[in-house]
Amino acid sequence: MKLQTNSEQLPQDSGIQFNILEYPRHIVHEFELSDPEDSLTHFIKEQAFEFDRLLISKTYVAEIGRKVIGFISLTCTEIKFEDDVADDSGHPVNNFQSKPAVKITRLAVDQRYQRQGIGQILLAQSFSLVVDTIRETVGCRFLVLDARKDKIDWYQSFGFELVGTHENMMRECPIMFLDLRDLVER
């Protein structure tokens, strides 16, 4: 995998730390994206703490002091297949037509801190969490997300693939996936 879990791109003295979102410790009201109406801004300001409290999603943040400058939210899901997943010799592994997955439901970096590698680190830390902790303790085959179209190339650069159906490509945010079996065996 190309993803690094270190923060080589970040300036040494950036003061940026990565933690689990905590109420009331974290300051979220200053978070900004170029579009003030972006639903991701609404999420971090109005919904993230509540979704955590209700066990709907867990949010991990990049912070400076207690100020949130980036975040990624994860939840459990499943993905359905028309055909079964095959093993290395092409034989179907089992008869399940849905497979367990972790979904990246939201990812954003404050516009003032973009293009410094923070998005990549949040993604890398989620990979580590899913591969080293979740997959080790609970069945979990895929990491999935709904990608904004202008971010598809970015996700592809980390190994995510598009679900290759016409229907998927017609979605406002096409579904992308990463097969953890490939990741673990690399």
Ligand X SMILES: CC(C)(COP(=O)(O)OP(=O)(O)OC[C@H]1O[C@@H](n2cnc3c(N)ncnc32)[C@H](O)[C@@H]1OP(=O)(O)O)[C@@H](O)C(=O)NCCC(=O)NCCS
Residues that bind ligand X (CB under 6 A): 33, 40, 107-109, 114-120, 147-148, 150-151, 153-154, 157
H or E element, residue 52: helix 48-53
Asked if residue 74 lies in contact with residue 104, where contact means CB atoms within 8 angstroms, the answer is: yes
Residue whose CB is less far from ligand X, 87 or 161: 161
Q: Which residue has the tokens 């970096």?
A: 109
Residue whose CB is less far from ligand X, 3 or 85: 3
| Cα–Cα distance list, 104 to 94, 166, 182 (Å) | 26, 22, 18
Q: How far is CA 140 from the centre of its chain?
A: 15
CB of 11 to ligand X, least distance (A): 13
How many helices (H) and strands (E) the chain has is answered by 7, 7
Residue whose CB is less far from ligand X, 84 or 111: 111
Distance CA 59, CA 61 (A): 7
Other C-beta atoms closer than 10 Å to the C-beta of 96 total: 14
CB of 151 to ligand X, least distance (A): 5
Q: How many CA atoms lie within 13 A of 111 on its CB side?
A: 9
Residue whose CB is less far from ligand X, 105 or 140: 105
CB of 176 to ligand X, least distance (A): 9
Residue nearest to ligand X (CB): 119
CB of 61 to ligand X, least distance (A): 13
CB of 55 to ligand X, least distance (A): 23
Residue whose CB is less far from ligand X, 133 or 157: 157
